């Protein structure tokens, strides 16, 4: 089997340090949320995305009130 690897370099605008830190913080929060949801799902043998979302959405929203609802919804 042939393996193909490509590197794509996309030029972008340089982000100010403050904006970059916000993205880093957002990534940390999102990873933490997903980790909590995965652990809960595994421990409680939940196999359905819809059931997990129904059980945990409001708890995640109360834990992370600073995030817009669509971030919490996406993590669930």
pLDDT 10s digits, 10-64: 888 888 999 999 889 988 988 998 899 999 999 999 999 889 888 888 888 888 8
pTM above 0.85, yes or no: no
CA atoms of 48 and 15, how far apart (whole Å): 38
Q: Is residue 52 within 8 Å of 46, Cβ to Cβ? A: yes
Q: Which residues contact 30 (CB under 8 A, 6 or more apart)?
A: 71, 75
How many CA atoms does the CB half-sphere of 6 hold within 13 Å?
3
């Amino acid at each position: 089997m042939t393996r193909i690897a490509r590197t794509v370099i996309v030029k972008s605008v340089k982000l100010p340090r403050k904006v970059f830190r916000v993205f880093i913080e957002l990534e940390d929060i999102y990873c933490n949320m997903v980790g909590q949801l995965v652990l809960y799902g595994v421990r409680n043998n939940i196999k359905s995305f819809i059931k997990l979302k129904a059980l945990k959405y409001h708890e995640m929203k109360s834990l992370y009130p600073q995030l817009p609802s669509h971030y919490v919804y996406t993590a669930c």
